[in-house]
Amino acid sequence: MREKLVAGNWKMHGSLAQNKALLEAVSAGMAGVKGMKCAVCVPAPYLSQAQSLLQGSAIAWGAQNLSQHEKGAFTGEISAAMLLDFGCKYVLVGHSERRAMYGDDDVTVAMKFEAAQKAGLTPILCVGETLEERESGITEAVVERQLDAVTGRLGVAALSKAIVAYEPVWAIGTGKTASPEQAQAVHAFIRGKIAVQSKEIADGLVIQYGGSVKGANAAELFSMPDIDGGLIGGAALDAQEFLAICRAAQR
Ligand code: 13P
């Protein structure tokens, strides 16, 4: 049985004071939550703060991006080894905002995935279609292309130590959640596609849903057979909302 993972993606939000209050409230609230995994992906400058506040707690932490390169003349970039130095477990790769605004194409995303895994981080590979792509009926083709970029480069075995997050772009930050049935259909497609190559890896793969998840809709989404938790943006900035989502992911 797959344990659900709820991960907060704070995006470019927070301050030392806000993070402290948020992480302390989430840590305290997580005391009674069992049978699920919880993580926060904070802005890179706050990794040290997350490490000192969360070490020894049930909450893991991670980053929102990394360089595909190991080291060198890449001004402004952050390597996988640097993230490990701050105790990161997870790192997002291929978030739609990075794909749309920062030139993270399929090849770059696959290289970042590889760099993360090589260093011992668990990549959370984000995939998902835009509204235009959905309306043109190419959702599955888009998601397939995004997955193939990684498995084509690294083989399906790479997914045995990774998370996939299905995040329809039209549902991110819009308040417009995919219906549980819409999300389930894509999650089942992803798992089915991987099962063709390895049933064992497909069965073990945690596939999160992301896009306007809140305390009020999490339980219904998480009740679907192929939805293994969530990648949470806006609602992860509110301790009580985030905790409600974590509680909805309990076994
Ligand atoms: P929202 O939960 O704000 O829609 O963001 C989803 C997301 O992009 C998480 O990575």
Average pLDDT over residues 190-218: 98
Whether 167 is catalytic is yes
Q: Which residue of the set 95, 97, 133, 187 is catalytic?
A: 95
Going from N- to C-terminal start, the domains of the chain cover 7-37+44-120+138-235+243-248
Average pLDDT over residues 179-200: 98
Check: CB of residue 227 under 8 Å from CB of residue 248: no
- Which pLDDT value is given to residue 250? 97
- Which pLDDT value is given to residue 190? 98
- Which pLDDT value is given to residue 65? 98
Distance 9 CA to ligand 1 centre (A): 7
- Which pLDDT value is given to residue 191? 98
Q: What is the pLDDT of residues 26-85, one digit of tens each?
A: 999 999 899 999 999 999 999 999 999 999 999 999 999 999 999 999 999 999 999 999
Residue 211 has pLDDT above 90, yes or no: yes
* Percentage of the residues of the chain whose pLDDT score is greater than 90: 98
Buried b (16+ CB within 10 A) or exposed e, 5-20: bbbbbbbeebeeeebe
In three-state secondary structure terms, 127 is strand
- The model's pTM: 0.98
**Selection from 193, 213, 222 nearest residue 205 by Cα:** 193
Q: Is 212 in the pocket of ligand 1 (CB under 6 A)?
A: yes
* Percentage of the residues of the chain whose pLDDT score is greater than 70: 100
Task: Work out the mean pLDDT of the chain and round it to a whole number.
Answer: 97
- The angle that helices 106-119 and 139-154 make with each other, rounded to 10 degrees, is 50
Distance 128 CA to ligand 1 centre (A): 12
Distance 234 CA to ligand 1 centre (A): 6
Residue 166 has pLDDT above 90, yes or no: yes
Q: What is the pLDDT of residues 216-226, one digit of tens each?
A: 999 999 999 99
Whether 3 is catalytic is no
- Which pLDDT value is given to residue 91? 99
- Which pLDDT value is given to residue 212? 96
Q: What is the pLDDT of residues 104-151, one digit of tens each?
A: 999 999 999 999 999 999 999 999 999 999 999 999 999 999 999 999
- Which pLDDT value is given to residue 58? 95
For 232, residues 6+ apart whose C-beta sits below 8 A from its C-beta are: 6, 7, 8, 9, 210, 213, 242, 245
- Which pLDDT value is given to residue 1? 77
Residue 199 has pLDDT above 90, yes or no: yes
Q: Report which ligand 1 atom has the smallest distance to the Cα of 231.
A: 9
CATH architecture assigned to 7-37+44-120+138-235+243-248: Alpha-Beta Barrel (3.20)
